Structure 1
C-alpha cells in the first residue's frame, strides 16, 4: 500500500505540504511569532485538504477551461474591488480574515493549462495577467509569465504563444510600477532571517521550501511531464520571488493563502493511472499488476 501511495504524485504532494507547513510552524515557534500565526497555517492546511477532497470529486469537465476562466474573473474582481494597502490591491476580506486570491488560485490555473489550452482557458490566463498588472502584484505576474513561457516552449501552439506575450506585457507593467510594500515579519525575507534565529530554523525554512518542488519530480517520473513542468515552474517562481523581494514565503512563512493554493494546484494534477497502483497478489500466489502487469504512461489529458 505504501509503495502505491508513493507512486501517486498527489499523495507525495500532500505529504510535502504537511512537512513544509510543519517546518514553518517550527520556525515560527522558535522565532517567537505570535501564537495565532502557527494556528492560522495549521488551519489553512486543514482547509486546503478539505478543498482538495472536494475538487477531487468534481467531474473532469468542470475542472478544465470553465474553471480557468472563473479564476481569471476572480482575480480581476480582486484587482477592481479588493482590499488595498500601500498602493496595492491584492487582497480580499472574508469576515475578519484577509486572503490573497492570487496565491490561492493562480497555481491552480497554471496546472489546469496542462490539461487544456482551449481559447476559454487561455482567456482566463490573460484575464489573470491583466488583473495582476492592475493590482499590481509583481511576484505573481512574474510567476505567471514564467509558467506560460514553459507552456509555450513545451506546447509550441499559437494560443500558448499569445498567452505568453500577454503575460510578459503585464509583467512589464508591474516592473514599471512602484512596489513599496514593506517586509512583514515571519512572512517576507525569512530565507535569510530564519538563520539569525538559529541555524536549524534556517535549515527548516529552506528545506521546507525545497519540499514544494518534490511533487514535480515525482510527477515527471510517472509520465505527467507537461503538468509537472508547469507545477514546478509556478512554485519555483513563487519561491524565487520570496527570496529576491518582499513577497510571501510559501507554506514555511506565515500566511494561509499559499497553503490552500498549493493543495488546490495538487487537486487538478492528473491522477495516477490504475496501472501505477500497488500490485496485488493473484490466486496463484504470484504478484501481478492491475493491467496484467503492464505499465502504461498516464495520459496528460
Structure 2
C-alpha cells in the first residue's frame, strides 16, 4: 500500500502486493469503484507468484478528491505516474469497464518496455455513446439519467445499479448476492460525487478508436453477451477488430460484473492469457 503524488498535486492510492521480481499485473477498476473491486483477482494472481498492483482512480476510493482531471487523458497520466514510481516493466494491464478505457488510453501511450499485454474486460471502448458514426451506441439520454440519479440521491443510485443491471440480478432466476451489492455501494460512497459525475462523460463519450489501433501488444477482449451496462455488440467485437493483436473471448449470458460473479471461470482464463 502506498501513494504517488501527480504533477497537479493529486494523491493516488495504490496496492502493491507480491514479489518485487514477479511479473506485474496491474488492475484498473470500473466506475465508481476502487482497487478493492479486484480483491479476488489480486489474491488469485498473488497465489501464482505474480506482483499485483491496483490503484484508486483520482476522485475514487482513497485517492484525492480532486477538483479537476476527471477525463481519460489525466486518468492515463495518473497510471503512468504510478507505473513510473514503481518502475514496472513488462506488465500486464487488466481493465474492467471504465478501467478498460483507461487501459486503452495508457497502453497506447506507454513508454517502451512498460507493457507486455493487456486485457479489456466488459470495457467501454471503442465508444459508448450513440452518434451518426456510432449508430449502435447507447443514447446520450441514458447517461443524462445516470447523472440526474447520481445528483439526486447518490446513495440510493449506488444500491440500484448493483442490485440490477451491473451483476445481472434483475434477470429471471438470478438470486441477488447482497454482499456484492453492499460492497459495490461501500466502494462507490468512498469517492467524490463530482468525480463520479464527471466520469460518466469520460466513460461514455471518449472515443478510443485511435488508441486501439496504436496498441502493438497482445490484447484479450473479454465480454459478457448479457452485459446490460456496456452492451456486447457495440463494444467487445468492435474493439477486437480495431486491435492489431486483439483476441475476442465471449462469455455467453454473463453480466457486466462477470469478474465478480464468475471469478472461477474468468481468473483461469486471464491466467492462461498472461502465461501464453
TM-score by length of 1: 0.27
Greater per-residue strand proportion: 2
Higher relative contact order (CA 8 A, sep 6+): 1
